Copies of this chain bind each other. A is one copy, B any other.
Amino acid sequence: MKKEISLHHKCHMNERCAKYNTCPIVLVHKLISGKWKILILWYLSSGCLRFSEIKRKLPDVTQKMLTNQLRSLEEDGLINRTVYPVVPPKVEYSLTKIGENMIPLLEQMYSFGIDYGKRNIIEKK
């Protein structure tokens, strides 16, 4: 652990992370720091969902914004978008192969969330 930290402690100055633009953590940051991306990926980690189903799970997001986020995730190769030419229209979203690799990360976020919630109760927030 200590050793792992030492490998990046001079981020932007060592061989693994020589430049800001090629730093892996900067890359991940760009992928998931969209306003709703983590939640979208999380919901899709259980299986594919329709547009309206995702929207229902995200009460605070506007339709336009959700469309933007889904398009961005699609461009980054994290989710698939499947359009069924039926009436009424049906569009399904699912994780790509690469997107599925993010599931352990999402699971760990979930665990941290539980831990964080407990600590904040203890520390009376």
Binding site for B on A (CB under 8 A): 4-5, 8-12, 20, 22-29, 31-39, 42-43, 45-47, 57-59, 77, 98, 101-117, 119-120, 123, 125
Contacts and interface: CB of A to CB of B under 8 A. Distances in A.
Chain A interface, DSSP helix/strand/loop, else mixed: helix
A-B pairs with the 5 shortest C-beta distances?
A: A24-B113, A9-B46, A28-B113, A27-B113, A28-B109
B38 A110 contact: no
Copies of this chain, complex-wide, total 2
A4 B45 CA distance: 11
Contacts of A58: 20
Contacts of A24: 109-114, 116-117
Contacts of A110: 8, 24-25, 28
Contacts of A12: 57
The residue in A37, A43, A112, A125 that gathers the most chain B C-beta atoms within 10 A of its C-beta is A112
A101 B117 CA distance: 13
